[in-house]
Amino acid sequence: MEKFVFTCIMVVLFNTITFAQHKAHHMNDSLSANDYLFRSTTEELSKIFDSPERDAWQKPGEVIKSLGDITNKTVVDLGCGSGYFSLRLAYVGANVVAADIDSSFLAIVEGKRVDHEIDRNHLKTQLIDESRLNLANNSADIILLVNAYHHISDRVDYFSVANKVLKPNGKIVIVDFYNIPLPVGPPVNHKVSKDQVLNELKKAGYQSIEENTDLLEYQYIITVEKF
């Protein structure tokens, strides 16, 4: 009898845990990429974004090197977060606009700028709108999005407008995760495939498109030029 009761308890416990996991999984599926991200505080996210372990797979130095000579070029770090790339871009001589929809992240970036004694001419912050890139036309040499593309909703319209922000010969560089299970990055259902990105950019009007799938293990790099 005791064995039977114990077995019943274990079955109920297993079913309860399985149901909870199933429910949590579907709750994550129903969340947008932004809602999923901001379940955590900006301080918690900053620790993740700035983790030393990230350097090994993100290869920030190699990504920046792939941009070419950016000395005195205006680089918009779109969706800058805690400034992981913003500071590195400024260190190599770019004039960086750290842009994000969250003012808390921008405050963190500004604090880092002061702590690292980086001149405001080389690093400034810009609060942007979630659905529209509200930056001046012909103001950016490069718009860089690292792990940010999948957070934008109406991407065709967004990047059609973003083209106007670019200076002549300007470019947009997108670094984002392959939409497969990976040890890093967001849930698979929040990722955008490389082919989908290419298709959306073509719909937005871009014709000169380059792909790089060799530099990073978990991410593709797509570069488009101003049209």
Instruction: Please report which confidence band the pLDDT of residue 107 belongs to, taking 50, 70 and 90 as the band edges.
Output: very high
Q: How many domains in the chain?
A: 2
| pLDDT the model gives residue 21 | 35
Alpha carbon 151 to chain centroid, angstroms: 7
| Average model confidence (pLDDT) across the chain | 87
Judge if 206 and 109 occupy the same domain: yes
Give the Cβ contact number of residue 49 at 10 Å: 20
User: Do the domain assignments include residue 10?
Assistant: yes
Judge if 150 and 87 occupy the same domain: yes
Judge if 186 and 159 occupy the same domain: yes
Which of 11-20, 35-44, 140-149 shows the highest mean pLDDT? 140-149
| pLDDT the model gives residue 153 | 87
Judge if 15 and 44 occupy the same domain: no
Q: What is the pLDDT of residues 78-94, one digit of tens each?
A: 999 999 999 999 999 99
Q: What is the pLDDT of residues 181-218, one digit of tens each?
A: 999 999 999 999 999 999 999 999 999 999 999 999 99
Residue 135 reports pLDDT greater than 60 = yes
CATH number at residue 150: 3.40.50.150
Judge if 133 and 90 occupy the same domain: yes
| pLDDT the model gives residue 2 | 43
Judge if 51 and 74 occupy the same domain: yes
Judge if 127 and 71 occupy the same domain: yes
**Residues contacting residue 156 through CB under 8 Å, at least 6 positions apart:** 200, 203, 204
For residues 86 and 95, what is the distance between their CA atoms, to the nearest angstrom?
10
Judge if 116 and 51 occupy the same domain: yes
Residue 227 structure tokens: 């049209």
Judge if 151 and 109 occupy the same domain: yes
User: Do the domain assignments include residue 35?
Assistant: no
Domain that holds residue 12: 1-30
- Rounded to the nearest 5°, which phi and psi values hold at 218? -105, -5
User: Do the domain assignments include residue 26?
Assistant: yes
Q: What is the pLDDT of residues 26-76, one digit of tens each?
A: 334 554 545 555 467 989 999 999 999 999 999 999 999 999 999 999 999
Judge if 126 and 21 occupy the same domain: no
| pLDDT the model gives residue 39 | 63
| pLDDT the model gives residue 37 | 54
